[in-house]
Structure 1
Amino acid sequence: MDDISIIQALISEDPIRWRLLKMVRSLNLPDCWIGAGFLRNAVWDYLHGRSPSPVSTDVDVIWFDHKRCSPEEDKALETLLRGLDPTAMWSVKNQARMHVQNGDEPYLSTTDAMRYWPETATAVAVRLGESGSCEVAAPLGLDDLFGLVIRPAGKFATEKTKIYQERFKSKNWIDIWPLLTLASAPLPSIPCVKAT
């Protein structure tokens, strides 16, 4: 089974994550995914031989629409999602505006924005496609995610190292997933992995 098939099986067999994906799909937002720890943690649990841990961190809903860039729009969507499931800690961010906050050039899509995230293993996302299947986006590849490697991505390996180091310490990942290893060097340029 390849990495994408493993992700699709993990998510489709996890009733909580599947239900949350359905809720997000019901919003009909353009270029919309759930990313970061929602998927990363499930894969790391699987690789540690555990059942998926509860979705206890932010459920990072990411989408892309130049015409609806206000933070108030994202807050309204978070409120709507909390109404559907108040147990999840919803975080909604239109990636069409996030480049300003992050000091980057404008992003072209949600997947393009993920290339600027802090770690390679975190730059992953899933969504329910038109056919109801689980789609996977991994613009920095899946090698580090499945290799249990924590590696800073892009500027977090160079000019934003302090932010990366503080983030790593606060997340406590090594204690939670002891098979993880740290890598300091960024990955060479790799093509985007996107599958349905």
Structure 2
Amino acid sequence: MISRLPLDQQLDSLRTVLSRNDVLTEVLSRAATLALPGWYVTAGCLFQTVWNVVTDRPPTSGIKDYDIFYFDNGDLSWEAEDAVIKAGRDAFAGLPVEVEIRNEARVHLWYEDRFGVPCPPYESAEAAIDNFAATTCCLGVRLETDGRWRVYAPHGLSDVFNLIVRPNPVLAPRSVYEAKAARWQEHWPELTVLDWPSTNRTMTSSGG
């Protein structure tokens, strides 16, 4: 079982599994050319690729889009982020998927309007990944200039490989977690979805 391997071997296995998704590897390669500060390909395109491979589905099955986070707090204007989005539109032209690029330094400006709870300013792209609604989602990968993969996985990889969806009640509301989990379970019924904790925890940000 991959989740019982030493961590370095788990990381090797993760790269092997993710590399079966040709769209993902192309997104990583093209994203690297944008030279965005602190960037990661993150969220569903990663853990859902693992779920697909583990359950013998096509690697791209059910993946809605490909998310790229970066962190630039030097200019928090929408115009600056939009310029990056437009550059990304050119970089990812021709791919059969939507690639969504977001500056995580700006999230606190719009998060409460969208989700109903305030979001303290993040200090890095990693901090934004820390606050996904499920710990299973807390995974980021980027391609370094020397070709190495940098992997950010603050909660490890065991749940990802074991098809466990675990709540992460630090920021996102319970409703967001449950809606996402229900949608995922429709496509991957093999998932084990853990309940939101019954004891209300104070919604805080751990530096993000």
**Bin of the TM-score, shorter chain as denominator length:** 0.7 to 0.9
1:101 aligns with 2:110: yes
Q: Structure 1 CA distance, aligned partners of 2:11 and 2:160?
A: 11
Aligned residue number for residue 19 of structure 2: 12
Cα distance, 1:95–1:181 mapped onto 2, change above 3 Å: same
- Structure 2 stretches lacking a partner, 5+ long: 112-117, 198-208
Is the contact made by 1:82 and 1:88 (CA closer than 8 Å) also made in structure 2?
no
Residue from 120, 126, 131 that aligns with 2:146 = 131
1:179 is matched with 190
Measure how far apart 1:164 and its partner are.
Answer: 2.1
The answer (yes or no) to whether the contact 1:112–1:139 under 8 Å persists in 2 is no
Following TM superposition, by how much is the alpha carbon of 1:122 offset from its aligned partner in structure 2, in angstroms? Answer: 1.2
Point out where structure 1 has 5 or more consecutive residues left out of the alignment: 187-196
| Alignment partners' CA distance in 1, 2:75 and 2:61 | 31
Identity of aligned residues (%): 27
Q: Which runs of 4+ in 1 moved over 6 A?
A: none
Residue pair 2:167, 2:195 contacting (<8 A) in 1 also: yes
TM-score normalised to structure 2 length: 0.77
Corresponding position: 1:92 with 2:105: no
Contact 1:99 1:105 in 2 (8 A): yes
Equivalences for residues 27-176 of structure 1 within 5 A: 27-53=34-60, 56-86=63-93, 87-102=96-111, 103-155=118-170, 160-169=173-182, 172-176=183-187
C-alpha RMSD of matched pairs (Å): 2.2
Which structure has the larger Rg over C-alpha atoms? 2
- Alpha-carbon offset, residue 56 of structure 1: 4.4
Could you say if the C-alpha distance between residues 173 and 163 of structure 1 is closer, same or farther in structure 2, counting changes exceeding 3 Å?
closer
Report if the CA contact (8 A) 2:69-2:104 is conserved.
yes
How many residue pairs are counted as aligned between the two chains? 182
TM-score normalized by the length of structure 1: 0.82
